[in-house]
Structure 1
Amino acid sequence: MDFDLNDDQREFRALLREFVDKEIVPVARDWEHSGRYPSEIVAGFRSLGLFGLTVPEEYGGLDLDPVSFALVFEEISRGWMGVAGILGSHSLACRMIATHGTEDQKRRYLPGLATGERRTGIGLTEPDAGTDLQGIRTVARRDGDHYVVTGTKTWITNARHADPLPVLVKTDKDARPAHRGMSVLLVDADTPGFTVTKDIPKLGYKGTESCEVVLDGARVPAANLLGGVEGRGMQQALSALEWGRVNIAARSVGIAQRAYDEALAYAKQRKAFGRAIADFQAVQLQLASLATTLQAARLMAYWAADRVRQGRADAQTGMAKIFCSEVALQAAIDALKVHGGYGYSTEYEVERLYRDAVLMSIGEGTNDVLRTVVAKSLTRGDAKVGWGG
Structure 2
Amino acid sequence: MIPRTIFETEHEQFRESVRKFLEAEAVPYHEQWEEDGQIDRQLWYKAGEQGFLCPTVPEEYGGVGVDYRYNAIVTEEVARLGLTGIGFTLHSDIVVPYILHNGSEAQKRKYLPGCLSGELVTAIAMTEPGTGSDLQGIKTTAELDGDHYVINGAKTFITNGQQADLVIVVCKTNQDSSAGAQAFSLLLVEADTTGFQRGKNLKKIGLKAQDTSELFFQDVRVPKENLLGEEGKGFLYLMQELSQERLSLALAAVSSCEAVLQHTVDYVKERKAFGKPVAAFQNTQFKLAELDAEITAMRVFVDRCLELHIQDKLDAVGASKAKLLSTELQGRVMDECLQLHGGYGYMWEYPVARAFADARVQRIYGGTSEVMKLIVGRSLLAD
Coarse TM-score class (shorter-chain normalised): over 0.9
The aligned amino acid for 2:193 is T
Give the length in aligned residue pairs.
379
Query: Measured at CA, do residues 284 and 34 of structure 1 come closer, stay the same or move farther in structure 2, by a change above 3 Å?
Result: farther
Partner of 2:270: 269
| TM-score calculated relative to the size of structure 1 | 0.91
Q: Is the 8 A contact 2:143 2:173 kept in 1?
A: yes
Query: Measured at CA, do residues 81 and 376 of structure 1 come closer, stay the same or move farther in structure 2, by a change above 3 Å?
Result: farther
Partner of 2:9: 7
Shift of 1:154: 0.7
Deviation digits for residues 290-321 of structure 1 (CA, Å, limit 9, x no counterpart): 21222222222222222222335101111111
2:198 counterpart (177, 196, 199): 196
Partner of 2:218: 216
Q: Distance in 2 between matches of 1:177 and 1:378?
A: 28
Deviation digits for residues 24-61 of structure 1 (CA, Å, limit 9, x no counterpart): 34443454256463345434422322222342222112
Residues 1:323 and 2:319 are matched in the alignment: no
Query: Measured at CA, do residues 6 and 90 of structure 1 come closer, stay the same or move farther in structure 2, by a change above 3 Å?
Result: closer
Shift of 1:89: 3.9
Gap runs ≥5 in structure 1: 382-389
Q: What is the DSSP-based 3-state SS (H/G/I as helix, E as strand, rest coil) of the residue aligned with 1:204? A: coil
Q: What is the DSSP-based 3-state SS (H/G/I as helix, E as strand, rest coil) of the residue aligned with 1:186? A: strand
Partner of 1:128: 130
Shift of 1:329: 1.2
Q: Distance in 2 between matches of 1:287 and 1:44?
A: 38
Q: Is the 8 A contact 2:122 2:160 kept in 1?
A: yes
Q: Distance in 2 between matches of 1:70 and 1:99?
A: 19
Q: Is the 8 A contact 1:70 1:301 kept in 2?
A: no
The aligned amino acid for 1:354 is F
Q: Distance in 2 between matches of 1:380 and 1:115?
A: 45
Partner of 1:308: 309
Q: Is the 8 A contact 2:162 2:201 kept in 1?
A: no
Q: What is the DSSP-based 3-state SS (H/G/I as helix, E as strand, rest coil) of the residue aligned with 2:124? A: coil
Residues 1:85 and 2:87 are matched in the alignment: yes
Shift of 1:378: 3.5
Q: What is the DSSP-based 3-state SS (H/G/I as helix, E as strand, rest coil) of the residue aligned with 1:82? A: coil
Query: Measured at CA, do residues 63 and 249 of structure 1 come closer, stay the same or move farther in structure 2, by a change above 3 Å?
Result: farther
Query: Measured at CA, do residues 36 and 133 of structure 1 come closer, stay the same or move farther in structure 2, by a change above 3 Å?
Result: closer
| TM-score calculated relative to the size of structure 2 | 0.93
Q: Is the 8 A contact 2:263 2:352 kept in 1?
A: yes
Q: What is the DSSP-based 3-state SS (H/G/I as helix, E as strand, rest coil) of the residue aligned with 2:221? A: strand
Please give the residue correspondences for 1:288-299 in structure 2 after superposition, counting only pairs within 5 Å. Answer: 288-299=289-300
Aligned-pair identity in percent equals: 36
Q: Distance in 2 between matches of 1:30 and 1:274?
A: 37
Q: What do you get for the CA RMSD once the two structures are aligned? A: 2.0
Residues 1:284 and 2:285 are matched in the alignment: yes
Q: Distance in 2 between matches of 1:232 and 1:18?
A: 41
Q: What is the DSSP-based 3-state SS (H/G/I as helix, E as strand, rest coil) of the residue aligned with 2:114? A: helix
Partner of 1:244: 245
Query: Measured at CA, do residues 314 and 191 of structure 1 come closer, stay the same or move farther in structure 2, by a change above 3 Å?
Result: same
Q: Is the 8 A contact 2:37 2:211 kept in 1?
A: no
Q: What is the DSSP-based 3-state SS (H/G/I as helix, E as strand, rest coil) of the residue aligned with 1:205? A: coil
* Larger mean Cα displacement after TM superposition, 350-359 or 189-198: 189-198
Residues 1:116 and 2:114 are matched in the alignment: no
The aligned amino acid for 1:191 is T
The aligned amino acid for 1:92 is I
Query: Measured at CA, do residues 183 and 72 of structure 1 come closer, stay the same or move farther in structure 2, by a change above 3 Å?
Result: same
Partner of 2:339: 337
Deviation digits for residues 305-364 of structure 1 (CA, Å, limit 9, x no counterpart): 222223351011111111111111111111111111111112211110000010111110
Q: Distance in 2 between matches of 1:40 and 1:279?
A: 46
Deviation digits for residues 243-292 of structure 1 (CA, Å, limit 9, x no counterpart): 11011111111221221121011011112233222122111111112212
Shift of 1:106: 0.6
Q: Is the 8 A contact 2:30 2:39 kept in 1?
A: no
Please give the residue correspondences for 1:95-244 in structure 2 after superposition, counting only pairs within 5 Å. Answer: 95-174=97-176, 176-227=178-229, 229-244=230-245
Gap runs ≥5 in structure 2: none
Shift of 1:177: 4.6
Residues 1:370 and 2:360 are matched in the alignment: no
Q: What is the DSSP-based 3-state SS (H/G/I as helix, E as strand, rest coil) of the residue aligned with 1:156? A: strand
Q: Is the 8 A contact 1:126 1:154 kept in 2?
A: yes
The aligned amino acid for 2:265 is L
